Chain A
Amino acid sequence: MARMQADDVKAFELLYARYERPLVNFFYQMCFDRVASEDYLQETFMRVWRARATYRPIGKVSTWLYQIAKHYWFNEREKQIRRPFHKVAGGDDAHAQWNNVADRTEETAPDAVAQAGETEAAIEEAVSALSDKLRSVFVLARYRGLPYAEISAILDIPVGTVKSRMSLAEQRLRTSLAPILQGER
């Protein structure tokens, strides 16, 4: 990090190589959209580069990176909700297409339907249905394997809240996925 703060591109590249996959998969498991996840990854590392001078070695690098990723994710979600992309000259269907596009992400993602197995698709659908708060905790804890203490620092919430959100997310997912779980038994 010190080398990167001194504008060493090679150090930045090493950081990118080390965290590219965890971060892109954090985004992917939040939205199950490959194209969007790649973009979010790019934007996250753009912010990492811009903010390199502000990094202080008081915590783990991964926590700092996930914090930036989390901020970006929640900001983008906020924008999507508040400012749907529109302004269309003619064509109701076209107008609808612009505005509904965020909602159709999973539906239209080329890889989300064609390639997914039934179980994977059901899991993705169930996870996507969770609220952002529950989903972010679940993804970081179960899929990214981060300790609760780190998730607490990333999301800026008490460890107890991480714990209860994880419990709630698990409960809701278990209910959603009950048909599959029963089928497996």
Chain B
Amino acid sequence: MSPAPNNREQNPHDDNRADLVAFALGQLDESEATAVRELILAEPELAAEFDSIRCHLDLHAEVREMQPTAGGFALLTQRIEQEPVTGAELRMPESPPECPPERTFIKRYWMSLTAAALLIGAIIIPRGPSAPVKTPNLKALVGDLSRDASGAYTATGVARVTFGTGVTVMVDADSVLLPLDSQRLVLKTGRIFLNVAPHRRGFTVLAGDARLTTLGTAFSVEQRRDGTGRVAVETGTVRLQRGSQRVDVGSGRAATWPDGAWEGIDSPSLPSASAQVRWFEIPSLSAKILNDRRIVVVLKNEMIDVIRLAPPTGGEPLFYATVGEHNWPHEPSDWGYNVVLDPGEEFTFEMKLPEPLKPGDSVSIRVPSLGMTTRIKFTGKTTETGR
């Protein structure tokens, strides 16, 4: 049996037991194992000790292993690509089989991960049947949503991302985000609001060097261009992690990084905190030209909460149709005060223009109280705006 040199923790009396443990684990070579086997046979006390060790080590067969989350390598390569250090730039292999020359491996990788849902204007392209994970749907509610070569989306207005996992993300204007998979999202800059069903724990937002994991919650995340960020939690709890440090940010609280400041955004009931967290209370607006005088306007609550429209004051109409220099107000006859639109509810009405449209005319439909406008061009036939 071998001695254990240079071992400050070693007690000479433990030599036998150390060998028994090594033997139980199959760590000894043939000659050592034979020696231990003979020792066990010769000494009943050692045999009993060996049985005890083996029984204990067998118990550890019950220790759990974890399955790594899918998409880890994609996240890794994205980080490497962003890293401006030590020549860590990823390069294509010398002989790519069928890769177009302008694409890097990383871009190809991202395309395969996120390709199933791509928004062009306001059109949702449904997920492909062979998508390995539920790919999020992205939709511009105001303005546009464009996708760059890295797969990141930029929202010029408010947009919505719906994950097929009970997670809805509202995206503020001038935000850049990259959905990784059905459970993870990178917020590069800007502001998002997330509503995660209570049973959907573990949805993760990566913002700067912060990692936010939901524990069933509604919260907003802001990542600024200077690298600082903030999370404000309306309900539930969000786990904020930076490196090995982490904290659970509870309802009514906010935290910022990188300074680690902590603040209470308001009382737990959050009347004003709610205003800080929820900044996207707008519906979607679309229009359709039926003929040269009639336009159908649809106002729909695409949000996750009730929309309350302020009543017109001082005779201010709720809608305007503008064609060239003409500005026609419109007050729908069945439109009352304190209008409430429940989530998913829509309000449709028809405008009749006092003058006929000519092909090529551009019509702007405005809702001043919401600061929303949609534009539509009359081609001579029925024309529809995107939402």
Contact = CB atoms under 8 A, between A and B. Distances in A.
Interface string A58-78: 000000000000000000110
Nearest to B74: A13
Contacts of A106: none
A101 interface: yes
B244 A79 contact: yes
B91 interface: yes
Contacts of A185: 55
A116 B22 CA distance: 29
Interface residues of B, number: 72
A154 interface: no
A60 to B, nearest CB: 16
Nearest 7 CB-CB pairings of A with B: A160-B4, A85-B245, A167-B18, A164-B10, A94-B262, A174-B56, A76-B244
Contact of B73 (A16, A87, A105): A16
A80 B245 CA distance: 7
A76 B241 CA distance: 13
A interface SS class: helix
Contacts of B73: 13, 16-17, 20
Contacts of A97: 247-248, 262
Contacts of B83: 46
B42 interface: no
Interface in B234-257: 239, 241-248, 253
Nearest to B55: A181
B79 A148 contact: no
21 contacts: A7-B89, A7-B90, A9-B91, A16-B72, A28-B66, A38-B68, A39-B243, A79-B244, A80-B244, A85-B245, A94-B253, A94-B262, A102-B246, A117-B62, A120-B63, A120-B64, A124-B63, A158-B4, A164-B18, A166-B25, A184-B59
Interface in A87-138: 87-91, 94-95, 97-98, 101-102, 105, 108, 110, 116-117, 119-120, 123-124, 127
Interface string A146-165: 01100000000010110111
B150 to A, nearest CB: 15
Contact of B21 (A3, A20, A166): A166
A35 to B, nearest CB: 6
Name, among A34, A79, A86, the residue most crowded by chain B CB atoms within 10 Å (CB to CB). A34
Interface of A: 3, 7-10, 13, 16-17, 20-21, 24-25, 28-29, 34-39, 41-42, 45-46, 49-50, 76-77, 79-80, 84-91, 94-95, 97-98, 101-102, 105, 108, 110, 116-117, 119-120, 123-124, 127, 141-143, 147-148, 158, 160-161, 163-168, 170-171, 173-174, 177, 180-181, 184-185
Contacts of A39: 211, 241, 243-244
Nearest to A124: B63
A76 to B, nearest CB: 4
Contact of A29 (B53, B63, B76, B215): B63
Given A49-B88, A87-B259, A177-B59, A163 B68 contact: no
